[in-house]
Amino acid sequence: MKSKARSLGTQLVLSLGIVLSIFTITQAISSYDLARVGVNAVLDSRLSNVAQRVRDMFEDAIPRHSAGSLNADDIVVLVWEPGLERPARTTDSAVIFDRDAAPGFSDQFVNREAWRVYTLVAPDNDVVQVAQRISVRQRMAEASAFRGLLPVFILIPAVWLAVYVCVRRSFRVLKRLGQQARAIDSAHLVPLSARGLPVELIPFVCSINRMIRRLDASMKLERDFIADAAHELRTPLTALKLQADNLEGDIAPSSEERFRALRQTIDRTSQLVAQLLQLARADSQVVETATDEPEVTHVVTSVVADLLPIARAKGIDIGAGKLSAAKVRIPESDLRALVKNLVDNALRYTPEWGSVNLRVFAVHGRAHIEVTDTGPGIPDALLTRVFDRFFRCNHGVEGSGLGLAIVRAIVQRHGGTISLHNRRDGQNGLRAVVTFALAGCETPGQIRGGPCVTAFSGHV
């Protein structure tokens, strides 16, 4: 069972966001409690100040008889004189507190309500009591504490946004590194740049670069071996062909069939060597600067003319539906090799009396070369493998498995693209499309050999 890929950036955003949110909420709760305690302390100080002022200056301002407090939020003031059982002065005659309460603050329960009472004894033994409902004090404390929490409700989303922005900015360097890594393939083995990377990533990038250098050296040895082997085989094969030509007139009638088989084997081997040389040249890291601008249509018609005898031998109808003028800045030899391998591959896999159609057209500054056949097509699972060297999906058809590998190497060498599609227009077959920038439309600083091969099934 495949495990679901997890995003490191998402994990960091969630982890940092949750941790900072927990700290913020904890601080908010602490601030809330401190605010409540602070408000209660301020209200207690208010009660004691009122009691002292009443005792010192404003005792006469307290009425001797009151019908009751008009506002439940108001504080209640009682003044007791010696020898009296009821308060001499009060702001609310319906409320009577314990006169014998100890001086200072006390909590009393009167008329089914809890009160915070401050008791002050004057020098003349008068007792001043100032009280406030505890429910009112709680409401005021909670309102004040809640106002202190409002910034927290704004701070938490701001913290998440800041974490997200910081993580995204930090991961930009990884995105740039990933783009460099995606541009690496067998034709573009360039070390990754360590400029501007965090120090934590430098050892990782250095390890990748060492691997790239080892891979480049290994592939260079492979390319050199293929090129050297192909060159070494050309001389003995040429000699064999000459000897076969010299012997052709001396072959007995009974041996003619075996002689023809020998000639076919020599021809196939010569073609394989030629393809190996093409592949070695296309894989070369030295990119030629094309001085000429070949006309794609002329190259296509020339290749079709060369391969026309093969098509006629199989009864294949080979033709062109659209040939628009298009020039590309590619050596004509490479363009010819590319088209020849594409058409040759289509002819090999197209059955007798089938058809192979070619088109050349220009769209959005790019030249498109399209080859469509009526062969069996390629299973979807193998579409991405047909560009591998020596890979053949149909061993019943004669071939070396190098044609499409050569095409891909040339495409990568000159910054083009190639795609393969199984036809979905009611017919079997394959559609290959190669694109190159039109001469004069090359993108400045174009990375050669970048990701250019796509293979998929789609509607034609």
The average confidence (pLDDT) of the chain is 79
DSSP one-letter string for 256-279: HHHHHHHHHHHHHHHHHHHHHHHH
Task: Give the pLDDT of residue 208.
Answer: 85
182-209 mean pLDDT:
78
Task: Give the pLDDT of residue 366.
Answer: 92
Task: Give the pLDDT of residue 8.
Answer: 75
Task: Give the pLDDT of residue 1.
Answer: 43
Report the range of poorest mean pLDDT among 29-43, 89-103, 295-309, 396-410: 396-410
**Quick check: 322 and 301 in contact, CB under 8 A?**
no
| pLDDT tens figures, 224-248 | 666 666 666 666 777 777 777 777 7
Q: Which residue has the higher pLDDT, 5 or 105?
A: 105
Tokens of 16: 């940092």
Report the range of poorest mean pLDDT among 80-89, 255-264, 444-453: 444-453
Q: Which of 137, 280, 307, 164 is nearest to 220 (CA)?
A: 280
Rounded Cα–Cα distance for residues 296 and 341 (Å): 15
Report the range of poorest mean pLDDT among 75-84, 207-216, 223-232: 223-232
pLDDT at 182 over 90: no
Task: Give the pLDDT of residue 295.
Answer: 92
Rounded Cα–Cα distance for residues 302 and 320 (Å): 12
Task: Give the pLDDT of residue 261.
Answer: 79
Q: Which of 377, 389, 451 is nearest to 421 (CA)?
A: 377
| Max avg pLDDT among 3-17, 26-40, 177-191 | 26-40
**Residue appearing with tokens 């069972």:** 1
Question: What DSSP element (H or E) covers 431?
Answer: strand 430-437
Q: How many CB atoms lie within 10 A of CB 77?
A: 25
Q: Predicted confidence band at 398 (pLDDT cuts at 50, 70, 90)?
A: low
Tokens of 438: 């039109």
327-335 mean pLDDT:
89
Task: Give the pLDDT of residue 360.
Answer: 93
37-51 mean pLDDT:
87
Report the range of poorest mean pLDDT among 171-185, 284-298, 303-317, 328-342: 284-298
Eight-state DSSP code of residue 54: I
Task: Give the pLDDT of residue 456.
Answer: 37
Task: Give the pLDDT of residue 214.
Answer: 86
345-357 per-residue burial string, b: 16 or more CB within 10 A, e: under 16: bbbbbbeeebbbb
Alpha helices in 322-457 (DSSP H): 332-349, 403-413
Share of the chain above pLDDT 70, in %: 84
One-letter amino acid for residue 140 of the chain:
M
Q: Predicted confidence band at 448 (pLDDT cuts at 50, 70, 90)?
A: very low
pLDDT at 149 over 70: yes
| pLDDT tens figures, 337-390 | 899 889 988 998 899 999 999 999 999 889 999 999 998 888 888 887 888 777
Rounded Cα–Cα distance for residues 283 and 273 (Å): 15
Rounded Cα–Cα distance for residues 366 and 227 (Å): 32
Report the range of poorest mean pLDDT among 33-37, 258-262, 444-448: 444-448
pTM reported for the whole predicted model: 0.51
Rounded Cα–Cα distance for residues 352 and 65 (Å): 123
Radius of gyration (Cα) for the chain, nearest Å? 46
Q: Which of 352, 271, 342, 341 is nearest to 311 (CA)?
A: 352
Q: Which region holds residue 87: left if phi is over 0, alpha if psi is between -120 and 50, else beta?
A: beta
Domains and CATH numbers, the chain: 8-166 (no CATH), 202-278 (1.10.287.130), 288-455 (3.30.565.10)
Q: Which residue has the higher pLDDT, 67 or 27?
A: 27
